[in-house]
Amino acid sequence: MKEVVIAGYLRTAQSRSRPNDPARDWFNKMRADELLGKLLPETIKRTGIDAKEIDDFIVGCATGVSEQFSFGGRFPLFLANLPETIAAKSVDQQCGSAMAGIHIGFMEIAMDFADVVMVGGMEHMTRVPMGGPLIDRGAIKPNMSLFMAPEYQHWDVMTAMNMGLTAEKLFAQNDFTKEDMDKWGVRSHERAAKAQEAGFFKDEILPIEAEQADGTVMTVDTDQAVRGDTTLEGLSQLRPAFKKDGVITAGISSPLNAAATSMILMSKETAKKKGIKPLATIRSIGFAGVDPTIMGHGPVPASEKALEKAGLKASDIDFWEINEAFCIVALNCIKALGLDPDTVNVMGGGTAIGHPLGATGARLTGTLARILNEKGGRYGCANACVGGGQGVATIIEREEYDW
């Protein structure tokens, strides 16, 4: 098996999506595939390879319908005017989509069927709003038997398809308090704001010139949803967002976002040959299924599997990126795996930075690799819960690449 490295990582800023008030989304007049189309050539350039060397392109998207239909991954390539010789596929593992792209690319290179693989992620939650609106349009048509037929009632698909309710259920199974979650939410915003201030994200964000609702053009280069002034008091006053007597509020959930992410994987030997300094080496991957009504637990078994395959213990991991679809997901993972909270989401998490569903996996992994480099850690694990009851995880190692 060949060793696979992350040779490049770049993303757009994550705008804040508002399907009912589109004008406030900084990317309201750009489609996700256009964001990706602008991003990919720059990623290739910055990585220092020739686009013709790319064997495969794998794009993750959680709602690949309507304008996010990617024609098997080819539309973003067309929009980027990249060589026709690059094969492509789109992959949907919901919130784990872009990470699934990394997994597939990793395996393709490891098994020597490809040498250079580009992974992308795209999601625009203003222009292609998840759930209800797409169902109303018939763009998504869940099988009605799952809701109606007695033999499927045990799945409780109504709850499984409402992420907020799965978070409520995960909360109910734990002994955390609402305040624990609020505190984690405040921490997420504080850390993200601090990282923004320190310019940490500057090197991973490609500024995009985006036309705004009023016709002016804005250079979008920061994540729109980060709010450094978030307070515990403020968060504690928010009302439950998903059920009347619930605890999960918008403040301790990831916002809706629009963004594109990208990553270039290659074999370590190719990187060496080309003199490319990788960000990190991929050591292990993991994926697991769980009860769809507590999908937030998914990262736990997925991470355990990845650790086992790598022959590592949770305590060997220096830094974690746990996708904060909800704060409770991170708290649950910390508790179940026995982690030191100070190693988790050190630059802030999805609550603040955002969670553009299918695009998130590449951001988690890429940001983690940059954290390892910034902080001097060795092992890192990125994981995410996945709607429908799954978890995905990727373990990377920062090495001294002496070439």
70 touches other proteins by CB under 8 A: no
Residue type, 152: Y
Q: How far is CA 393 from CA 11, 59, 302, 332, in A?
A: 20, 18, 6, 15
Query: Do 228 and 190 meet the contact criterion of CB atoms below 8 Å apart?
Result: yes
Q: How far apart are CA 350 and CA 356, in angstroms?
A: 9
d(CA 114, CA 101): 14
> Under the criterion CB under 8 A, does residue 123 sit at the interface with other proteins?
no
By the rule CB under 8 A, 359 interacts with other proteins: no
Window of 25-33, 44-52, 102-110, 309-317 that interacts with other proteins by CB under 8 A: 25-33
Catalytic residue at 124? no
95 is catalytic: yes
Q: Does 48 bind other proteins (CB under 8 A)?
A: no
Q: Minimal distance in Å, beta carbon 261 to other proteins?
A: 19
Q: Of 186-194, 210-218, 293-301, 303-311, which part binds other proteins (CB under 8 A)?
A: 210-218
For residue 300, give the 3-state DSSP assignment: helix
Q: Which position among 137, 202, 243, 273 is part of the footprint of other proteins (CB under 8 A)? A: 137
Closest C-alpha to 47, from 213, 256, 268, 277: 277
Query: Which residue of the set 124, 297, 355, 381 is catalytic?
Result: 355
Tokens 């220096």 belong to: 318
List 95, 327, 333, 381, catalytic entry = 95
Select 23 or 172, whichever has its Cβ closest to other proteins. 23
DSSP SS3 for 357: helix
**What angle in degrees, to the nearest 10, is found between the helix axes of 299-310 and 327-337?**
40
| Interface with other proteins (CB under 8 A), residue from 30, 116, 282, 384 | 30
Interface with other proteins by CB under 8 A: which range of 125-133, 241-249, 325-333, 336-344?
Answer: 125-133
* Interacting span for other proteins (CB under 8 A) from 23-31, 103-111, 154-162, 242-250: 23-31
Q: Does the protein bind other proteins through residue 20 (CB under 8 A)?
A: yes
Q: DSSP letter at 238?
A: P
154 is an active site residue: no
Note whether 46 binds other proteins by CB under 8 A: no
> What does DSSP say about strands 379-386 and 319-322: parallel, antiparallel, or unpaired?
parallel
**Interacting stretch for other proteins, rule CB under 8 A, among 24-32, 107-115, 226-234, 376-384?**
24-32
Phi/psi at 119 (5° precision): -115, 140
Report the alpha-carbon distance of residue 3 to residue 282 in Å, rounded. 7
Strand partners, 344: 320
Closer residue to other proteins, CB minimum distance, 211 or 291: 211
Is 394 strand, coil or helix? strand
d(CA 63, CA 134): 9
CB of 337 to other proteins, least distance (A): 41
User: By CB under 8 A, is residue 208 in contact with other proteins?
Assistant: no
Binding of other proteins by 127 (CB under 8 A): yes
| Nearer of residues 20 and 151 to other proteins, judged by Cβ | 20
The neighbour count for residue 35, using CB atoms within 10 Å, is 31
Q: Provide the CA 112 distance to its chain's centre, in angstroms.
A: 26
> Under the criterion CB under 8 A, does residue 41 sit at the interface with other proteins?
no
For residue 29, state whether it binds other proteins (rule: CB under 8 A).
Answer: yes
Nearest Cα to 300, choosing from 333, 330, 341? 333
Residue 29 vs 375, nearer CB to other proteins: 29
Active site residues per annotation:
95, 355, 385
Please report, as ranges, the residues that interact with other proteins according to CB under 8 A.
Answer: 19-20, 22-23, 28-31, 34, 66-67, 126-127, 133, 137, 211, 213, 215
